[in-house]
Amino acid sequence: MAWGNPMEIIDRAVRGGYAVGAFNMHNLETTQALVRAAEQANSPVFLQVGRAIVPHRGLRAAYEMTRRVAEESDAELVIHLDHGPLEEVYEAIKLGFHSVMFDGAHLPFEENIKVTRRVVEVAHDFGIPVEAELGKIPDADEQVDWSSYYTDVAQAERFVAETGVDLLAVSVGIVHGVPMSSPQPLDIERIEKIREVTGIPLVLHGASGVPESEIRAALAAGVHKFNADTDLRHAFRAGMEAVWSEGDRQLEEAMAEGRERMIAATVEKMRLYGCADAASLAAAA
């Protein structure tokens, strides 16, 4: 196979006016679902090793599982570390991840700049792009004062200028998970302003449950990578429950149906983001 180049994929998305999907895997079957969706949709994809699988399997085991599945495919694939703390980012670089996200959003602003700048220096020495996050993203249905959660435009401008990050994840009304109540409308104007002052592609985490009209508006405003997980997990779960609703069945049968439904849900996301049929011919060769 030919691994995808993360920033080439993002740069193509910017030029083509679409966004790339970034999705988390949780086991072998969900990893296979993401890869097969990329094959079916002829789409690049970021395979994200995230905060659920790392405590469950360990970073190395999660990476090795993802790599084994990916190496069986001709799709344009990137293995990406999602929401990594400092030591985990450095381990991911050593393991061979293609891109990393260092999450220093919990740090005081000045310290976040300092630590992120060092991460960028190290990662760039290995040719690995860095995504960072500014602002806070609450869990679904958590009651928050959004004014203290949104990414500050002026801070974003300074943060990007002083750290040299390649991608910036922003808080503009999204949440982790799918809210049961009416979701907070996305602050599209804030996305436009951040994109204008930073000059780099933006990332929207928590894209599950966001209305399609707002996804398209965010894309037009400067978001070129969407992270989604919950919608795909729900599809996998629905497949398993459908099998077990028929009575006692083998676990493998249930997971196989979950995998099929997750493939379909992932392809649907790729079409929404516009990255379907956008895989590089070079990567597929």
Which pLDDT belongs to residue 248? 87
pLDDT on residue 139: 67
CATH code, 6-284: 3.20.20.70
Residues whose CB is less than 8 angstroms from the CB of residue 43 and which lie 6 or more positions away in sequence, other chains included: 20, 21, 37, 75, 76, 267, 270, 275, 276, 277, 278, 279
207 labelled ligand-binding: yes
Residue ranges in 26-108 assigned as alpha helix (H): 28-41, 53-57, 59-70, 86-95
pLDDT of residue 140: 62
Could you count the other beta carbons within 10 Å of the beta carbon of residue 84?
A: 25
pLDDT of residue 206: 85
pLDDT band at 284 (very low <50, low <70, confident <90, very high): very low
Q: Which of 11, 74, 82, 277 is catalytic?
A: 82
Tens-place pLDDT, residues 171-223? 998 876 666 566 678 999 999 999 999 999 999 998 888 999 999 999 999 99
Q: What pLDDT is recorded for position 282? A: 47
Asked if residue 262 has pLDDT above 70, the reply is yes
Give the pLDDT confidence score for residue 285 in this predicted structure. Answer: 40
Q: Express each pLDDT in 130-183 by its tens digit.
A: 999 998 776 666 667 767 779 999 999 999 999 999 999 999 988 766 665 666
User: What's the Cα-to-Cα distance from 268 to each of 52, 235, 245, 281, rounded to whole Å?
Assistant: 23, 12, 25, 22
Distance separating alpha carbons of residues 196 and 200, to the nearest angstrom: 8
Here the tokens at position 256 are: 């196989």
* Residue 111 among known ligand-binding residues: no
Average pLDDT, the chain: 93
The reply to whether 177 sits in an annotated binding site is yes
Residue 83 labelled as part of a binding site: yes
pLDDT band for position 106 (cuts 50, 70, 90): confident
Q: What are phi and psi of 146, to 5 degrees?
A: -60, -25
- What's the pLDDT score for residue 179? 60
Residue 282 labeled ligand binder: no
Count the neighbouring beta carbons within 10 Å of the beta carbon of residue 204: 29
Tell me, what's the pLDDT at 174?
80
Told to judge if 166 belongs to the known catalytic residues of this protein, a careful annotator would answer no
CB 262 within 8 Å of CB 282:
no
Question: pTM of the predicted model, to two decimals?
Answer: 0.93
For the chain, the domains span 6-284
- pLDDT, residue 182, reads 65
Assess contact for 22 and 208: CB atoms under 8 A: no
pLDDT of residue 141: 60
Looking up tokens 């381990």 gives: 91
Q: What is the pLDDT of residue 175?
A: 74
Q: Is 31 annotated as a binding residue?
A: no
Q: What is the pLDDT of residue 2?
A: 67
Per-residue pLDDT tens digits for 43-56: 999 999 998 999 99
